[in-house]
Amino acid sequence: MVSTDIGGQVAGRLTSRDAALAAAFNPPRGQLAVITRYIRTHRAMQVGLLIVLGYALLAVIARLIAPYNPETATSATLQPPSLRHLFGTDVSGFDILSRVIAAPRVDITIAVTATLLALVIGTPLGVLAGFSRGVLGEVVSRIFDLIQAFPFFVLAITLLAVLGPSVVNLIIVVAVVNAPIYLRLIKSQTLYLRERTFIQAARVVGNTEFSLMFRHLFPNALPPVLAQVSINVAWAVILTAGVSFVGAGVRPPTPEWGLMISTGASNMFSGQWWVALFPGIALAVSTAGYALIADGLRDLSDPTRR
Residues in touch with another protein (CB under 8 A): 1-4, 6, 13, 16-17, 19-25, 27-28, 196-198, 200-209, 211, 216, 219-220, 303-304
Specify the residue, 31 or 75, whose C-beta has the smaller distance to another protein: 31
CB of 168 to another protein, least distance (A): 36
Specify the residue, 61 or 201, whose C-beta has the smaller distance to another protein: 201
Specify the residue, 19 or 83, whose C-beta has the smaller distance to another protein: 19
CB of 202 to another protein, least distance (A): 7
Specify the residue, 138 or 209, whose C-beta has the smaller distance to another protein: 209
Write the DSSP assignment of the chain as a string of letters: ---------SHHHHHHHHHHHHHHT-----SHHHHHHHHHH-HHHHHHHHHHHHHHHHHHHHHHH-SS-TT---S-TTPPS-SSSTT-B-TT--BHHHHHHHHHHHHHHHHHHHHHHHHHHHHHHHHHHHH--SHHHHHHHHHHHHHHHS-HHHHHHHHHHHH-S-HHHHHHHHHHHHHHHHHHHHHHHHHHHHTSHHHHHHHHTT--HHHIIIIIIHHHHHHHHHHHHHHHHHHHHHHHHHHHHTTSSSPTTS--HHHHHHHHHHHHHTT-THHHHHHHHHHHHHHHHHHHHHHHHHHHT-TTT-
CB of 6 to another protein, least distance (A): 7
Specify the residue, 159 or 217, whose C-beta has the smaller distance to another protein: 217
CB of 97 to another protein, least distance (A): 46
CB of 153 to another protein, least distance (A): 36
